[in-house]
Amino acid sequence: MKAIFKREFRSYFNTVTGELFIGLNIIVFGFFFAQNNLLGLSNNLNGALYNTAFLGLVFMLPLLCMRSFSEERRQKTDQLIMTAPVSVGGIVMGKFLAIAAVFSIPTAVICILPPIMGRFGDVPYLWNYADILDYWLYGLMMISICIFISSLFDNQIISVVISVVLLLACNLMSNLFAGIKTEWIKDILNSTIDFSGRLLTIYLGSFDLTSIIFFASVTVLFLFLTSQVLQKRRFTVSRANLSVTAYSTAMIAVMIAVVVALNMVALQIPDNIREVDLTANRIYSIGDESKKIASAVTDDVTLYFLAQKNDEAMATKDQTVERILKSYTGAGGNIKLKYIDPVVNAKFYKKYTEQDPGYSGVIVVDETNGRSKAVPYSDMYQTQVDYQTYTEQTTGYDIEGQVTAAIQYVTLTDDQLVKAYLTSGHDELPLDQSFAKVLDNANITTDSLSLLTAESVPEDCELLMIIAPASDFTPSEADTVIKYLENGGDLLVVTNPDAMSASSMDNFKKILAWYSLELTDDIVIDYTNGHYYAAFGSPVYLLPTLMSGNEITGTLTNEGFGTVFLPEAQPVNGTSSDDLEITELLKTSDESFLSNESEESAEKQSYTVGIMAEKTLDSGTSKAAVYTSAYIFTDQVDELIGNMNQKLFSNTVSSMVELSADFVTIPAKSMESYLTIPMTVGNFLAVIGFALISAVAIIICGIAIWLVRRKK
């Protein structure tokens, strides 16, 4: 076998075939890499590798393998090998390993890219190298198929054409399985022909053991089939021809059955054993807190998944929802998953909610106490519209957060639920979707409160929110709020600097004065590098410092997060006293000044733009969190800062309301971070350019060697 390997490997570089394949492979991969990673700034090679495998290897590998047996058979040189003192298996393995070695050369070149990308951002190395392993195993499987086809024909062109057609068919065949109604037939086809599906699984971030088993078993199968073809030809002139043929046929049947059975058995392995989440943010699995909650459930809880079971046409995002729901059933013995076909049972959701959760939505039902909560499909993903292409892009996953919150909600008792009210009647800004979801995930129900018609703040109000009022409160409204605070109520306030500059807002300020807090009507200006959003070119778009030593912003700094974004904020001041504790949360730099001052004459200082006040009462305390930018808790601002404002909002609310002792909030999981590549040609682009130039040089060198040898 060793001699066969050396002979074959050397032959690929004595002709132009080896150099041509290596060069083309690098060029094709480089094209997709430029699209996905240089222009798209992706920190993952999965897109480039998948496209290269699906669109490139299907055509390149048949060309590489075409001469393995077809050419020797045409020139009758195969008879020398057949009569050599080498086993048939050794012949096949020698040729296979030689081609695999040639294929491994460009694959090794790809392996150097993740560390290079790591210089320009956070790179999920485990995921990237699992992608490369998947790509390599997929290529080896295709090589074994192409070798088998080559052993059947003595014409290289026919061998290439049939190999390409067969590989394309195997990659596309899985799309036809959805129409098959018989489950066991569909399972057999999925376990033997689903090439692209197995390839895609790992590229999407889930290391599935069945994909590795599939690639390895199919590779072994086709190498075995190739050996059987050669074995039959070796004994074509023999009195034992009949017995050998029968033996060969029986062994082929047994081998195919073993491979099919092996892959079908592998599919039965529990998901939590055979799948490993490779993504940096673990978007395909649930965390320890969710597992703890699921395992502690004593009621019978059912997760109704509004989708068809075993739907081959299910979108990738829908499959992600399904995978995470299965994680809950694996973690909690009392949690069951049931599929509800929304086509057959279109109105099923009306038993529990008026709003249709949509296809792949979830309804969580506690069968013991009858409480339920719907999780709409649209709430499980964070999206952002690209206004250049007018397409919606997924920016984050909130499946775990939504489902965990729903499970906690349906299993909580009524006295454990929290109620919050938002004031109305003063042109307040509404809470945008993502911030409303923070409250919903914390099982905090909200309602609107008109202080003009209400005699008092409702007794069940655990948090009163005043979000950027544009007009002043009436004296009676202010007194109603102050009475609520005197009884131990808590307050979350977002001020509106534009309204402050337009009118006095005396009654609104009276509410804050109860905590000895004072507002300045002018806007803070901060030109200090790193303290304003330079992309907008305006020093009023503040990036303040998060103060440490408190449970709201201190946890963000301890976990290594950045800062928050406050467009147009005003100063707020407060002084601690015997019955009042003031905690500064957000501060500008020492070089800040106010909008009514000139930069040259201003007395520059640091200003507080986020503050927490806690007043001690005869019985208990009253808290107020004040942020002085009207748009701080809006989706548009939050998306610009990587959801940091949402984290600030979540921490603020959590510090002000008493949730169940066992209650946890699972934050949304953002998509993988992007690379930051300078616009100028840097080291990264230089390395890629060098690789592509090298690929072209390899091809030219191969052609030159071939021409020289041809003349000789």
Domains (ranges, CATH) in the chain? 2-277+676-711 (no CATH), 281-411 (3.40.30.10), 412-670 (3.40.50.880)
Quote the DSSP letter at residue 592.
B
Query: 611 and 572 in contact (C-beta within 8 Å)?
Result: yes
CA 635, CA 533: separation in Å to the nearest integer? Answer: 17
519, 527, 521: which is closest to 599 by C-alpha? 527
SS3 of 162-182: the string is HHHHHHHHHHHHHHHHHHCCC
| E strand map for 192-274 | 206-208
Q: What is the mean pLDDT of residues 438-453?
A: 87
Angle at 290 between CA 284 and CA 293, to 5 degrees: 150
Q: Treating both helix axes as pointing N-terminal to C-terminal, what angle do 209-234 and 195-203 enclose, rounded to 10 degrees?
A: 140
Q: How many CB atoms sit inside 10 A of residue 404's CB?
A: 25
- Please, what is the average pLDDT of the chain? 82
CB-side neighbour CA atoms (13 Å) of 481: 32
CA 645, CA 684: separation in Å to the nearest integer? Answer: 33
The separation between CA 212 and the C-alpha centre of its own chain, rounded to angstroms, equals 22
Q: Retrieve residue 129's tokens.
A: 């190298």
The reply to whether the predicted model has a pTM over 0.75 is no
Greater pLDDT, 78 or 374: 374
| Residue 679 pLDDT | 43
| Residue 91 pLDDT | 85
Q: Retrieve residue 170's tokens.
A: 């195997």
Of the listed ranges 32-46, 183-197, 324-338, 407-421, the least confidently predicted one is 183-197
- The pLDDT tens digits for 480-506 are 999 999 999 999 999 999 988 777 899
Most confident of the following: 223-237, 414-428, 578-592:
578-592
Farthest CA pair distance, the chain: 112
Query: 377 and 357 in contact (C-beta within 8 Å)?
Result: yes
Angle at 549 between CA 548 and CA 551, to 5 degrees: 95
Q: Does residue 227 surpass a pLDDT of 60?
A: yes
Q: Does residue 48 surpass a pLDDT of 80?
A: yes
- pLDDT band, residue 391 (cuts 50/70/90): low
CA 547, CA 533: separation in Å to the nearest integer? Answer: 19
Greater pLDDT, 477 or 701: 477
